[in-house]
Amino acid sequence: MAEGYKQLGLKTKVVPFIDDVASELEAADLIIARSGAMAVTEIALAGRPAIFVPYPFHRDRQQELNARVVERKGGAVIVLDDEHLGENLAVKLQELTQDRDRLVQMGHAAASAAMPDAAAKVAAICFTEARP
């Protein structure tokens, strides 16, 4: 699929694993990823638009639910991992890469879903509740 998007003048990078996530997110205009909790969090904190493809075999749909948080804010779209994944992903890629303004808006929306101070808030609640 990456070859097809080179024809449109798009630079793509497909990797199985990233060591320096922050640098790669900073360089990306659009991210396609599974939607585990950490991936969704990192992408939102970076303020990047995303196409999330939730892992389909969790019985409680946890990855889909993670992705829906950012989707509801307008920072991501979800493409389900089913027998039409390739076609549906190609359509979304075409749609999003044709609209730079939408990608910028999605990035801002993704950032609005982030909670950069979540750990401090949880810790404060714990300390408050632990006091006699």
- Worst-scoring range by mean pLDDT, 70-74, 75-79, 91-95, 128-132? 128-132
- Taking all residues of the chain, what is their mean pLDDT, rounded to a whole number? 91
Is residue 55 over pLDDT 90?
Answer: yes
Q: Which long-range contacts (CB under 8 A, 24 or more apart) does 67-74 make?
A: 67/35, 67/40, 69/40, 69/113, 70/40, 70/43, 70/44, 70/109, 70/110, 70/113, 72/113, 73/109, 73/110, 73/112, 73/113, 74/105, 74/106, 74/109
Q: What is the CATH number of the domain that holds 8?
A: 3.40.50.2000
Residue 78, beta-bridge partner list: 52
Domain enclosing residue 97, as ranges: 2-130
Name the band, by pLDDT with cuts 50, 70 and 90, for residue 9.
low
**pLDDT at res. 115:** 92
Find where tokens 């999330």 sit. 52
Share of the chain above pLDDT 70, in %: 92
- The 8-class DSSP code of residue 32 comes to E
Number of domains in the chain: 1
Is residue 6 over pLDDT 70?
Answer: no
CB-CB contact of 45 with 37 (8 Å) = no
Residue 32, beta-bridge partner list: 51
CA nearest to 23, candidates 7, 50, 42: 42
Share of the chain above pLDDT 90, in %: 81
